[in-house]
Amino acid sequence: MDQVRSGRSERAGGGAEVLPMPGRARARTNIWPALLRIAAAIAFVALIFGTFIFWKRDLELRMEVARLAREINSQQRELARERETVALLTGSDSKRAELNGTEQAKNARATFAFDRQTGRAILLTEGLPATAADKAYELWFIADGHPLPGKVFTVDASGHATISDQVPPAARDHAVFAITLEPRSGVNTPTGPIYLSSPSS
């Protein structure tokens, strides 16, 4: 019995070793760098995507601002043109002439007004027929029987046109204003039929 007791004591208190479970703590430690790399990659992709969205939005805003600026400039030019028209039609130093349609355009008519000092002029037409692609109307200043060429223009679907021009000094006192149909590039001497003409003055 003494031998048995002494053998149990040796087994209970003697050289038994407790060994740690290998690998678990180390495995947990190795997961964090991988998770951090994945998180960094996701954050980088999100940053790139966000940058692209902001760039696209900024580009759209710039395009919208440019469009609005063009509209404002166009409206300002139109307003300036309307003011010039009113000034030439109502100015104390302005001369005004009415142009009547000929056999070529019986329902057409136009108003021509210009400043006697500067020669700045405005032509407003209505009822002129639409022209062929290779044709256009040309304004003429006929002074002492000599036609001086003005601007070449076309009309919209209703025959309207508003044209700014410059009256030569020779045609500011006594002249006839006429509109003929000419080649689209214009000519130096009238070749086509007269569509509108003012009375002799």
**Three-state secondary-structure class, residue 129:** coil
Question: Does the residue 78 lie in any domain?
Answer: yes
Q: 98 and 42, same structural domain?
A: no
Best CA proximity match to 88, nearest among 179, 197, 198, 163: 163
Edge-first strand listing for the sheet containing 161-166: 146-153, 135-143, 176-183, 194-197, 94-101, 109-115, 120-126, 161-166
Question: Does the residue 12 lie in any domain?
Answer: no
Q: 180 and 131, same structural domain?
A: yes
**Number of domains comprising the chain:** 2
pTM to 2 decimal places: 0.62
Specify the pLDDT at position 130.
93
Question: Does the residue 77 lie in any domain?
Answer: yes
Each residue of 140-168: pLDDT tens digit? 999 988 999 999 999 999 899 999 999 99
Instruction: Let me know: does 139 contact 150? Beta carbons within 8 Å.
Output: yes
Q: 143 and 48, same structural domain?
A: no
Residue 125 has pLDDT above 90, yes or no: yes
Last residue of a domain, one of 90, 111, 131: 90
Report, as an integer, the average pLDDT of 28-54: 82
Confidence label for 122 from pLDDT (cuts 50, 70 and 90): very high
Q: 187 and 151, same structural domain?
A: yes
**Cross-strand bridge partners of residue 99:** 110
Q: 28 and 115, same structural domain?
A: no
Question: Does the residue 16 lie in any domain?
Answer: no
Residue 82 has pLDDT above 80, yes or no: no
Last residue of a domain, one of 90, 108, 133: 90
Specify the pLDDT at position 5.
62
**Cross-strand bridge partners of residue 162:** 124
In 10 A of CB 6, how many CB atoms? 10
Question: Does the residue 1 lie in any domain?
Answer: no
Residue 12 has pLDDT above 70, yes or no: no
CATH code, domain carrying 177: 2.60.40
At residue 58, φ and ψ (nearest 5 deg) are -65, -40
Residue 6 has pLDDT above 80, yes or no: no
- Which residues are within 8 A (CB) of 201 and not within 5 positions of it... i.e. 6 or more apart? 97, 174, 175, 176
Q: 32 and 112, same structural domain?
A: no
Specify the pLDDT at position 192.
94
**Three-state secondary-structure class, residue 111:** strand
- Which residues are within 8 A (CB) of 199 and not within 5 positions of it... i.e. 6 or more apart? 97, 98, 176
Question: Does the residue 179 lie in any domain?
Answer: yes
Specify the pLDDT at position 52.
87
Specify the pLDDT at position 49.
86
Specify the pLDDT at position 24.
55
In 10 A of CB 140, how many CB atoms? 23
Return the higher-pLDDT residue of 183 and 40.
183
Q: Determine the structural domain holding residue 152 and report its residue range.
A: 94-197
